[in-house]
Every structure is written in C-alpha cells, then in structure tokens.
Amino acid sequence: MKDQGTTPDAPPLSGLRVVSLAEQYPGPYATLLMADLGADVILVERPGQGDPARGFPGFHAALNRNKRSVAIDLKSDEGRCALRDLLVDADVMLEGFRPGTMQRLGFGYADVARINPRLVYVSITGFGQDGPCRDRPAHDLSYQAIAGLLFAQARSGRLAPPGELAIGDLASGMFAALGTLAALHQRTRTGQGQYVDVSMTDGLVSWMSVFLGPQMNGQPQADIAAEPAYGTFRCGDGKLLTLSIAHEDGFWAALCGLLDMPDAAALRRPERVARCDALRGRIERALAREPRDAWASRLDEAAVPWGPVNDLHEVVEDPHFNARGLFREIPDANGRKQRFVAQPLKFGGHHPGPVRGVPALGEGNAELLGNRSK
C-alpha cells in the first residue's frame, strides 16, 4: 500500500525540548518515542562513563539514536548550574532515579518549578513515589511478578524461565510518554507544568485489567488460550507457526476444512474447549505433515489467523515490515550507516523519525552548554 497524504512540514512534536536524566531502559524508551516524533531530546549523562547502558553498545544505540548528549557532573556546583540553564527553556524533564535522589541534588519538582513553572516533570520508578515498596530495589521480572503477570506460575507452582522482553520497562516508557503528552496538553489550558509520577508496577497492574477486573468482581476469566487452535505448532520442517483462533467459530470451521477435519468443523467454543487436548493433537499431527512454507499460502487463502514464529533475522527480512518502512538507515557521527527500527506511527502516511544517529557522550556540550562545557 502506498503512503497516503504528503510529508508533513515538521514532525508532530517539533519545537518540544526534553531534558532526560533517565538511564538504562524505561526513560530512554520514553524519550525515544518522543525524539522520533520530533522532540529535541537532550541526554544528561555522567562524565567519563555516561549511561551504564553504553556498556552494551547495540542496546544503547537502539534506544538513544536521534538524541543529543551532554556530560554534566551534578555533584559539582558548575554541573548543577549547567542543568539549571538547560531547564530554563525546556518543556519536559524526565528522570529515573530512586525516590528522593533528585531532591537531594536540589532538583526535586518544587526546585525545578521555581526555575521553570511551565515545565512538565516526569519521574519513572519501580514502585512510585509513595507506598510501602517505594524504596525496594528490583528489576523487570520482579515488577512482573508483583503485578500478577506470572499468576499462572503462582497457581501451578511450576517454574518457568523469564521472558525475553522487559515488559515493565517498556510499559512504563509508554506510560511516561503518554503522561508527558497529557500534561503538556493540560499546560495549553493552564499555562502551568506539573509533576507526573510513573510507577512501573502500577503500569503493569493496568495492563492486567482484563484479569484483575473479573477477579475483583467475582466474574469468570476470559480464557482465550483454552482454545485448541490458539498456540504454537511445529511444521514438517521443524519450523514453528502460531494459530490464533481465539473464539471465532468461522475461523475454526475454515481451519478444519484446510486440515481435513470436517467432523470437528461445527464444534462451538464450549465444545472445543472441553475437547481441547484431543483437538490440539489432531492439529499438531496435520501441520507436521508439511513444511511451514507450504502451509503459509494455504492458511492465507483459507483466511485463518496465523503467523510464522520468526527469529530476529527473519523479522528484519520480513517483506511486510520492509514494505511498511519500519527499518531505516541513519549515518553515525563517523558517517557510517546503521540500521534502526523506525518510529512505528505514521502521520499523513509517513514515519517521522529517526533522522540522526547515536550521540557520543558529551558531544553536545559545546553547542548546548557554551562556556560551561569548558
């Protein structure tokens, strides 16, 4: 499908300046979203070392291209003055330290609001700024556990390896971006900035709403995965594919027609769930007769919900994602081109970012801090 509309004169968040003191994953993902939408994101990093994520160059680059970097020692008077100068004209300040850290440095919300009352101040922490867990150290897996994402393990007692995706980090980054934009919208009415408290675990609890709502109200859970054709299956060549028939009788009938299971085509969801193991076994045996590529066109022609289980290189090579323009080449500071995932939203049919590479630590000091960079 061709892009629709014309390229916008400027990306949606052009003219917005974000000063970010957040490191590692959640804050950088939030500012990545904003930078790719046109915001000028300035990373405030520690001199010499920078964001600890720089120790993992590919990880760091994926989250921090399209931004600028200054190196500031916030424990020095000169460094604190430099940060104040940056905040005078900023629209947003985002930080990801433990509760109380910014206050001790002299940059709590009350301090910053005196410098710039229009500034939106966003804090990302594991458990929020208050509550009995606020000072508990943790990482993503523990946030998932306390928020209920591992409830199946809690019920069964069976151990399972952690997932590859840091869901709490990514969810909090998206909530931080949403909270920032909501506060900026309110500023257009009030003229005043405000403080946004982003808790990684609170965000995950929100993501669990469709499980927790029924739990709180004595209602049954919507157990989509109880369907026999909702899961991962192995094909004849050993490659995997997913079927995702959640509850739709029409999709089930189409699958049964394709897999030569006419006796099961008329089964409704309650009957399918009751006979799940036996039906799933029949699906497994049918798919194992042919390689995945042979099933691909047949599943598409039958309009059955499915997808290949892609390895990373297969995602990068996928014709659909490439047709959508999801990967972009950007030159780094040395002129060498690197590929990155583009900003996924389209505006007027176009992806607005990224447009620049990964900043070297402190490369923006002279431009952004002037005499203070010496």
Measured CA to CA, the distance from residue 141 to residue 321 in angstroms comes to: 29
Give the max Cα distance, the chain.
80
**Active-site residue identified among 139, 197, 318, 350:** 139
Q: Residue 256 is which amino acid?
A: C
Pair 139, 193: CB distance under 8 Å:
no
Q: Is 140 designated active site? A: no
Measured CA to CA, the distance from residue 325 to residue 285 in angstroms comes to: 37
- 12, 14, 15, 16: CA torsion to nearest 10: 70
Q: Is 313 designated active site? A: no
Measured CA to CA, the distance from residue 287 to residue 303 in angstroms comes to: 16
Distance of CA 118 to the CA centre of its chain: 27
From residue 29, alpha-carbon distances to 120, 176, 235, 269, 300 in Å are 18, 9, 36, 40, 34
Closest CA to 95 of 167, 40, 2, 24: 24
Q: What are phi and psi of 192, to 5 degrees?
A: -120, 145
Beta carbons within 8 Å of 9's beta carbon, 6+ residues apart: none
Beta carbons within 8 Å of 45's beta carbon, 6+ residues apart: 23, 51, 69, 70, 71, 72, 361, 362
Q: Residue 283 CB: number of other CB atoms within 10 A? A: 20
Could you tell me how many helices (H) and strands (E) the chain has, helices first? 17, 11
Pair 221, 273: CB distance under 8 Å:
no
**Active-site residue identified among 36, 140, 169, 202:** 169
Strands (E), 186-325: 195-199, 230-234, 240-244, 306-308
Active-site residues: which are they? Answer: 139, 169
